[in-house]
Amino acid sequence: MGGVWGYVNWNWLWVGAVWLSEELRGRGYGRQMMEKLEHTARVRGCLYAHLDTFSFQARPFYEGLGYEVFATLDDYPPGHQRFFMKKALR
């Protein structure tokens, strides 16, 4: 139905994947999963989080959670953009 995973590297959380089945999207489950992941990262000493997404994926979702774009690769894949995003967890 869905899940989220990442790993801790020094004081940073890297969010590797966030996924929910179509029928569960828009109900707050993604936000809950991310909040639990970020909480666990804070407990482990993380001060920041980072991830990447594509123009055809979930940038608005992550922005709604407080992430901001710090770098963009254009035409990756062709005709799209890859966004690198970060957030302070303090």
Instruction: Say how many domains are in the chain.
Output: 1
CA quadruple 29, 25, 28, 63: dihedral sign: positive
pLDDT tens column, 15-26: 999 999 999 999
Domain ranges, residue 22? 2-88
43-76 confidence digits (pLDDT tens): 999 999 999 999 999 999 999 999 999 999 999 9
pLDDT attached to residue 89: 98
Asked whether 72 and 82 are in contact (CB, 8 A), the reply is: yes
CATH number of the domain bearing residue 10: 3.40.630.30
Confidence class for position 14, pLDDT limits 50, 70, 90: very high
